[in-house]
Amino acid sequence: MRRLGTVTRTAQGLAIVRPDDGDDAPDIGTMAVDESLSGVGRVVDVFGPVGRPYLAVSPDDHVQLPELLGTKLYTR
């Protein structure tokens, strides 16, 4: 399991994740999970500064975006 980062905000139906320093950006389509390994969604975009880009995660149907704020997300 690898840490993606923390959900810092939501925008246009997406969870915006700020990765930790020094982490490489994951590939688009990578599955995002929470600490209990429950599927949260998939990475649909990588944007922003090259040194520390943001990730846009499209949530699964059962996920409520406001509940994700401040949550740490991971990849399997």
The answer to whether residue 19 is domain-embedded is: yes
- CATH code for the domain in which residue 57 is found: 2.40.10.230
Q: Which of the residue ranges 6-15, 20-29, 56-65 would you say has the lowest mean pLDDT?
A: 20-29
Report yes or no on 70 lying in a domain. Answer: no
The residues, ordered by sequence, that sit 6+ positions from 11 with a Cβ below 8 Å of its Cβ are none
Give the Å distances, CA to CA, from 70 to 5, 8, 30, 40, 50.
10, 6, 20, 14, 23
* Interval 29-63: pLDDT, tens: 999 999 999 999 999 999 998 888 999 999 999 99
Q: Cα–Cα distance between 14 and 7 in angstroms, integer?
A: 10
The pTM score is 0.90
Counting the structural domains of the chain, the total is 1
Strand pairing partners for 11?
14
Domain for residue 50, yes or no? Answer: yes
pLDDT at 22: 63
State residue 51's pLDDT score: 82
Short-list 50, 49, 43, CA closest to 15 = 43
**Is 72 among the domain residues?**
no
In a domain, 36, yes or no: yes
Q: Indicate whether 46 belongs to any domain.
A: yes
* Residue 23 binned pLDDT confidence (cut-offs 50, 70, 90): low
Residue 71 lies in a domain: no
Domain span at 30: 2-63
